[in-house]
């Protein structure tokens, strides 16, 4: 996969890099992966939660995610995703209601075609200055032409977020929802990339769905959480 970046952890069908995605990307060939699914880092602006309390100051910039690397401009990494993805393949990117607009602009600038806006129904609300928030969004794009696959279910994905002791990362996403999208968008044995893997639910979803996985994570604690998750998923196969 990569030409020069040392693979920090390789197990079965997964390669995990403890590195900045842009460095990993620099070693990845053009058109070398079959799907990209990611939940990228971004700063929260106004209307979110700060120290467990609602932030009422619209426009204030903060992060409650506990990452030391808060933000990497969408215009820096989305073009790399486009380059690395094969033709007629799908890119899914998660977002809140604010960042979806600059993410969409960066995807359009990179050459992607917009496919769908999926809604993740979290089945719980978070306070807001306006309507209590219950959804996150997954924008789906394709590179090149349409690839006919079986897209089952609907554009609303009902998902229970990991809670309490089962939670491995502050913004962890549910494996069953990701596994569904991986199965719909790829064939067995194909490769899925997550540039910002966090605790690696995409890797676990790929192992369950018999797909190969490549992921990058810049922070050691989340990289180690990813290794643990992949070890567990491999041993449960
Ligand atoms: C929103 S979180 C992903 C959480 C993940 N979906 C999960 O369920 O665990 C984004 C992750 O990207 C990582 N990150 C931030 N900048 C990065 C970079 N330049 N390269 C790789 N990872 C980065 C952060 O440390 C964080 O863990």
Cβ 215 under 6 angstroms from ligand 1: no
What is the pLDDT, as a whole number, of residue 1? 52
Tell me, what's the pLDDT at 56? 36
Closest CA to 104 of 145, 156, 141, 133: 141
What is the value of pTM for the model shown?
A: 0.91
Are 212 and 190 in contact by the 8 Å Cβ rule? The answer is yes
**In whole angstroms, what is the distance from residue 137 CA to residue 118 CA?**
6
Residue 174 has which token pair?
A: 């549910």
* Rounded to 5°, angle at Cα 167 from 228 and 59: 120
Distance, in Å, from the CA atom of 79 to the CA atom of 84, rounded to the nearest integer, reads 9
Alpha-carbon distances, residue 27 vs 19, 21, 24 (angstroms): 12, 10, 5
Ligand 1 atom closest to 222 (CA):
27
* Residue bearing tokens 């619209």: 58
Give the separation between CA 95 and CA 100, rounded to whole angstroms: 6
pLDDT of the residue at 70:
58
The predicted pLDDT at position 12 comes to: 84
**Among 138, 176, 183, 156, which residue's Cα sits nearest to residue 35?**
183
Query: Looking at residue 4, what DSSP letter applies?
Result: S
Q: Which of 219, 201, 167, 208 is nearest to 186 (CA)?
A: 208
Position 35 scores a pLDDT of: 98
pLDDT of residue 47: 46
Q: What is the pLDDT of residue 5?
A: 59
Pocket probe for ligand 1: among 69, 181, 202, the residue whose CB has the most ligand atoms within 8 Å is 69
For 86-97, the pLDDT digits (tens) are 999 999 999 999
Q: Please state, rounded to an integer, the average pLDDT across all residues of the chain.
A: 89
Instruction: Measure the CA–CA gap between 194 and 5, rounded to whole angstroms.
Output: 16
Token digits for 148?
């006919």
* Cβ within 8 Å of residue 228, ≥6 positions away: 168
3-state secondary structure of 133: strand
**9-235: which CATH number, 1.10.287.610, 3.40.50.150, 3.90.245.10, 3.40.50.300?**
3.40.50.150
Q: What does the domain layout of the chain look like in residue ranges? A: 9-235
List of the chain residues with pLDDT < 50 = 2, 46-50, 52-65
Testing ligand 1's pocket by substitution, the residue of 198, 200, 227, 230 carrying the most ligand atoms inside 8 A of its CB is: 198
pLDDT value for 146: 97
């Amino acid at each position: 996969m990569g030409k020069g970046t040392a693979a920090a952890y390789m197990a079965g069908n997964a390669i995990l890099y403890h590195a900045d995605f842009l460095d990993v990307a620099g070693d990845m060939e053009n058109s070398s992966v079959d799907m990209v699914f990611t939940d990228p880092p971004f700063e929260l602006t106004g209307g979110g939660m700060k120290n467990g309390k609602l932030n009422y100051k619209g426009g204030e910039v903060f992060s409650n995610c506990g990452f030391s690397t808060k933000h990497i401009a969408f215009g820096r990494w989305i073009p790399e995703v486009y380059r690395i993805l094969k033709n007629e393949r799908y890119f899914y990117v998660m977002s809140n209601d604010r960042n979806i607009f600059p993410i969409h602009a960066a995807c359009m600038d990179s050459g992607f075609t917009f496919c769908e806006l999926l809604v993740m129904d979290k089945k719980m609300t978070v306070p807001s200055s306006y309507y209590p928030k219950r959804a996150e969004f997954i924008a789906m794009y394709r590179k090149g032409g349409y690839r006919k696959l079986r897209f089952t279910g609907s554009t609303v994905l009902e998902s229970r977020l990991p809670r309490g002791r089962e939670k491995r990362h502050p913004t962890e996403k549910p494996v069953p929802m990701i596994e569904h999208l991986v199965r719909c968008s790829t064939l067995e044995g194909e490769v899925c990339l997550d540039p910002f893997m966090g605790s690696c639910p995409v890797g676990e979803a790929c192992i369950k769905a018999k797909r190969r996985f490549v992921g990058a994570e810049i922070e050691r604690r989340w990289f180690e959480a990813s290794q643990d998750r992949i070890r567990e998923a491999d041993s449960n196969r």
